[in-house]
Copies of this chain bind each other. A is one copy, B any other.
Amino acid sequence: MLTLGQIAELIGAEVFPEDQKDAPVQALAPIEKAVTGTVTFLNGKKFEKLLDTSEATAIVCEPKYRKRAFNSTALLLHNMPYVAFARLMQHWFKKEDNWIGVSEKAHVHESASVGSEVSIHPFVSVGSGAKIGERVIIHSGVSIGENVEIGDDTLIHPNVSIYAESKIGRGVILQAGAVIGGDGFGFATDFLKGEHVKIPHAGNVILEDGVEVGANATIDRGVMGSTKIGRGSKIDNLVQVAHNVEIGQGCFLAAQAGIAGSTELGNYVILGGQVGVVGHLKIGDGVQVGAQSGIGKNCKPGSKWLGSPAIEGQDSKKSVIAFQKGPELRRRVKALEGELAEIRKHLSDKTQS
């Protein structure tokens, strides 16, 4: 239980009206379900009308709503209400009672080093030469290969596989089943023998601080050199990142997207779900790609793409409309051809007459 005043202090918001600062809060809730005793938030216009009808004890929202008449629901004014509410949730749902220790049912190679206050659960295997930082939490069934380095405060969910030589930063989160550092898909075909010769993958994977990787996502190691995911980039479930891809900072890769080998993404790139990007491309800072699109060429910074193959900006929507109206256009062209035939006939008749 916290008061509005305590919450305001926690997230750096202003209580409006101020005299509500002692109102008690028992829970957080989404705005459609917020009742007395809960705090919720307003992000964007969609639920704006609920400001006047909500029974929430308080709503985290932008300062511009201050003018609104008070109706028993107080406001927690903040310039970035969604960010403020996220920080409130992080505090509210913080797990206090984490078990700390190294399970007797785990396997930690004698040459591995393990920081203090770690939680290493049963059936975790830590290979030779691995270095585990402070306060790292590793859930059951995780496999950590030789010489892997894991930074402080990183959280690894069950059954994650981290191959040898991978470097994982601080505050990284790996969801269950993620595979970090598998061999990439590289083969040299011997046409005489009709045989695909495997390209050894002598490189590794580097995940910088604050990266999150989704469940069952796969990030392949480099052939030579590294596959890199930049600071704070977020990768969703079932995403494929191929060998020697380099991703900048703060990118979002939505579920089931795939990036082929050696492509470079700048900073704050957003790939929608099921997007595919071919290899050896340069995708500039801030590029945004719509869901299911296929990127086959370089994208300049800030450009927006949609379609498979992707088309830039507004053109893509027009092409889609043209696609959908294709049958109508075919009818119109057929009509034109008919009319022209008549006119030709009419003109030739006159000529002959």
In the complex, what residue of chain B is closest to A342 when comparing beta carbons?
B344
Q: Indicate if the CB atoms of A199 and B237 lie closer than 8 Å.
A: no
Q: Is the CB of A29 within 8 A of B214?
A: no
Task: For A242, list chain B residues within 8 Å (CB).
Answer: 255
Please, which residues of chain B bring their CB within 8 A of the CB of A196? 232, 234, 250, 252
Q: A347 — which chain B residues lie within 8 A by C-beta?
A: 343, 346
Please choose the segment from A17-25, A62-70, A112-120, A272-280 that sits at the chain B interface, where 4 or more of its residues have CB less than 8 A away. A272-280
Task: Tally chain A residues at the interface, Cβ within 8 Å.
Answer: 112
Structural contact, B176 and A163, CB atoms closer than 8 A: yes
22 A–B contacts, CB within 8 A, in A order: A83-B188, A145-B158, A159-B177, A173-B198, A185-B237, A187-B234, A196-B232, A196-B252, A198-B212, A216-B238, A218-B237, A238-B238, A238-B258, A256-B258, A273-B278, A274-B276, A322-B326, A322-B329, A332-B333, A333-B333, A339-B344, A346-B347
Residues of A within 8 A of B (CB): 28-30, 33, 80, 82-83, 85-87, 89-90, 92-93, 103, 105, 107, 121-123, 125, 139-141, 143, 145, 157-159, 161, 163, 173, 175-177, 179, 182-183, 185, 187-192, 194-200, 202, 210, 212, 214-216, 218, 220, 223-225, 232, 234, 236-238, 240, 242, 249-250, 252, 254-256, 258, 260, 268, 273-274, 276, 278, 291-292, 294, 308-309, 311, 315, 318-327, 329-330, 332-333, 336-337, 339-340, 343-344, 346-347
